[in-house]
Amino acid sequence: MGKMLIPQVGILVLLMMVSLGEAEYMKYKDPKVPVNKRVRDLLSRMTLDEKIGQMTQIERKVASADVMKNYFIGSVLSGGGSVPAPKASSEVWVNMVNEFQKGAMATRLGIPMIYGIDAVHGNNNAYNATIFPHNVGLGVTRQIGAATALEVRAAGIPYAFAPCIAVCRDPRWGRCYESYSEDHTIVQKMTEIIPGLQGDIPANYPKDFPYVSKGKTKVAGCAKHFVGDGGTTKGINENNTVISYKGLLDIHMPAYLNSIRHGVATVMVSYSSWNGVKMHANRKLVTGILKKKLKFKGFVISDWEGIDRITTPPHANYTYSVQAGVQAGIDMVMVPNNYTEFIDDLKSLVNKKVISMKRIDDAVRRILRVKFIMGLFENPMADLSLANEVGSQKHRDLAREAVRKTLVLLKNGKSAHKPLLPLPKKAPKILVAGTHADNLGYQCGGWTIEWQGASGNDLTRGTTILASVKSAVDPSTQVVFNENPDANFVKSGGFSYAIIVVGEPPYAETNGDSLNLTIPEPGPSTIKNVCGSIKCVVVVISGRPVVIKPYLETIDALVAAWLPGTEGQGVTDVLFGDFGFTGKLARTWFKSVDQLPMNVGDRHYDPLFPFGFGLTTKATKGY
């Protein structure tokens, strides 16, 4: 019997080795396996805790490798202005993202987390990044998407909360500068930024599936904010959009269909309501329209504490909010801080069968689908290979080109026969005035380094309009800067002409809501003091049309520069004639706020400058 034991033991060991070999092969880890099969295999292996973890997105301030591992967290984000260190380098960003990723990869199943960031006009949280014009004036969109993707990936981040495809119907809304236009057809065209961010969909790719090019040069995009956020009453942020179902479909929905056709990976839900129903709890629209009718197969993400705001006041009944948000069809919840409460409440709701496992599996399936498609399982870790892309000269040149194309010339001379622009570069002495002439923070607007933006020239690296004027004119021309000169200074200065740069201070979201849309002082006083004395061109830096009619008669030339970003030379390129003005208004410019809301096609349409208006000039290369 003893002699027979050895071969039996050998066979047993061999069988165990074969069994272990089979166990080690996990279909979801094999990149050769089709995505749907990988998703199905991984989903079948996951516990409820692991699934809920995937549905949870937390802020970087509360994240750590241990938190990622212990709670199976699926995603981390940087809120507006949330950075690992002041003026953090790409290396600091990459190291932070990788530290979180190491925690995620150390879990039982090794599911990578996806890091997201607001990149609404470039990688706008990162110091030294190229800041492009805000959407209100944006041009050359696809190229900007590609450049933004590179600068976001350079920080180790594979997910951008962009583009905003809101159709802003009332400029009193504090987020109007995040919208491309009041006209949904323009917004639809601007979804071309999605292939720039994510890559071009290959031929024969499954219809309506999300697509993100594998590798490290593209990011997952996010169409936001679903749906109707640009149509709220009086433009009040997060308010109620009162419109018929047909009106919602005709005006606010079309760009979502375009986004899905471009393969957008994710969709973010709006804080706003539609006819009194909070979007974060609107199953009819999120599940019924977006997922079923439009056949969106990526994942739906909430906004920051979006489910909390289902109740009034926010967080009044958080368990109900979790139930309503997840049942509505939200797949990933931007918690972002108190993640244990969200996880505990959702787990309890599932265990009590209030929320079905079918709904949980749908959410996780969508999240995993995006992660597999973008190659995150094969390349979970970030590196510094793209570090030189941040603020690169080619991206700054692209931003400068975008600025030139976004400028709209609204007036050129008090008589059509005597245009002021382009300005002569060889004038003996010129005046530059205004609060926004030498303020890079004002030039960039909100969502720049800080959530609300900030004042000053040390915010990030860029070129102010004043500096651009000095570099554009002839060396013999004397440039005098006086932010708010009085009339006597102007009259006695011997100036050939003046460039006045005024506008709105930076703001974001609710802080930007305005019922009067006036340029704050000393802007109006500067216009009056300067334009009443010498020839002047007024450059308006704003996130939307503002009250300008009272000053228009005294102004010789008027330029809408919107929020041009870091490359101020794009403004002077056109002022001095190196390039011609070509921009057209994608928004109606009102005479009085009493007319609002007023959009092209309305019966009472009586604008100061109509939709599509814009004077043109020819390039002269300076003279």
Can you give the residue ranges of every domain in the chain?
40-389, 393-609
Indicate the average pLDDT of the chain.
95
For residues 68-81, give the mean pLDDT. Answer: 98
pLDDT at 38 over 70: yes
Distances (CA, A) of 475 to 175, 425, 429, 478, 567: 41, 9, 11, 8, 21
pLDDT at 621: 65
What is the strand order of the sheet 240-241 is part of? 240-241, 273-274, 277-278
CATH class, domain 393-609, is alpha beta
Q: What is the DSSP string of 198-254?
A: H-PPPTTPPTT-----SSSS--B-EEEEETTGGG-GGG-TT-EE---HHHIIIIISH
Task: Report whether 266 contacts 221 (CB < 8 A).
Answer: yes
Tell me which residue has tokens 């920080």. Answer: 155
Cα–Cα distance measured from residue 586 to residue 184, given in angstroms and rounded to the nearest whole number: 10
Angle between helix 357-373 and helix 318-328 axes, rounded to 10 deg: 60
Q: Which helix H or strand E contains 59, and what residues bound it?
A: strand 56-59
pLDDT at 416: 78
pLDDT at 14: 46
All residues at 6 or more sequence positions from 168 whose CB lies less than 8 Å from its CB, including other chains: 175, 176, 178, 179, 181, 182, 230, 235, 544, 587
Rounded to the nearest 5 degrees, what angle is found at the Cα of 26, between the Cα atoms of 372 and 331?
35
Task: Report whether 610 contacts 586 (CB < 8 A).
Answer: no
Name which residue leads in pLDDT, 417 or 460: 460
| DSSP-derived pairing of the beta strands 273-274 and 222-226 | unpaired
Cα–Cα distance measured from residue 473 to residue 267, given in angstroms and rounded to the nearest whole number: 46
pLDDT at 463 over 60: yes
pLDDT at 472 over 60: yes
Task: Report whether 226 contacts 268 (CB < 8 A).
Answer: yes
pLDDT at 139: 64
Among the listed residues 87, 29, 28, the one whose alpha carbon sits nearest the alpha carbon of residue 461: 87
pLDDT at 120: 96
Name which residue leads in pLDDT, 26 or 24: 26
pLDDT at 394: 97
Distances (CA, A) of 556 to 168, 188, 376, 539, 619: 30, 35, 55, 11, 20
pLDDT at 141: 75
Which residues does the annotation mark as catalytic?
Answer: 303, 509
Rounded to the nearest 5 degrees, what angle is found at the Cα of 81, between the Cα atoms of 77 and 82?
45
CATH class, domain 40-389, is alpha beta
pLDDT at 133: 97
pLDDT at 13: 44
Q: In this structure, is the dihedral angle defined by the CA atoms of residues 165, 113, 55 and 287, taken in order, positive or negative?
A: positive
Tell me which residue has tokens 């003091």. Answer: 529
For 25-163, where are the alpha helices, taking DSSP H only?
Answer: 35-45, 48-54, 65-71, 90-105, 141-154
pLDDT at 142: 83
CA 230 to chain centre: 15
Mapping DSSP to helix (H, G, I), strand (E, B) and coil, where does residue 591 land?
Answer: coil
Confidence of residue 19 (pLDDT cuts 50, 70, 90): very low
For residues 320-332, give the mean pLDDT. Answer: 98
Residue type at position 245: Y
Cα–Cα distance measured from residue 255 to residue 275, given in angstroms and rounded to the nearest whole number: 20
All residues at 6 or more sequence positions from 530 whose CB lies less than 8 Å from its CB, including other chains: 431, 433, 485, 490, 498, 500, 536
Confidence of residue 499 (pLDDT cuts 50, 70, 90): very high
